[in-house]
Chain A
């Protein structure tokens, strides 16, 4: 199975900060990657698919980039509602695999 490694595992930041989360695949996955946001006690929410396509209704401060093995999720200006855990997910092959998550906390 393809291993997805996110960094950092946790991150403290302030409202208004620019934040970048990285996801690395153990082998090339083209652009077949999505990003999800999960808040405590809630189901995850789709942010981005195909590495850089913003899901309808998701604020434009979220962006994704990358191809091959290295991917990034960027939040251009953190808002209070963005403090959550973020996961990447590869859909290049089976079984699909998630990264371990990045917990974004308020500084």
Chain B
């Protein structure tokens, strides 16, 4: 149980375009979802935390107008990278946590390359 999927697993896009990444909890209700970014050889960096039905809370230094997060249901959250630039190329990972649960369950990640 506690499976989280991400789609797509990898994506290449041109500079200036927008990319949407989906994160789904397949067998549980995710009241809270987290979006992380990880650059090569660096640790996870939390970008934002979202609770179902409410606005996401962004970490300091993360542009909320550039990284749009929608957590519209208990099983789906989306991250849209708007007007992507090459420096946005990274490994984006989501995780999900159920009500009263202590553990975050991670998706497999999405590798974004902006050319």
Q: Do A and B bind each other?
A: no
Binding site for B on A (CB under 8 A): none
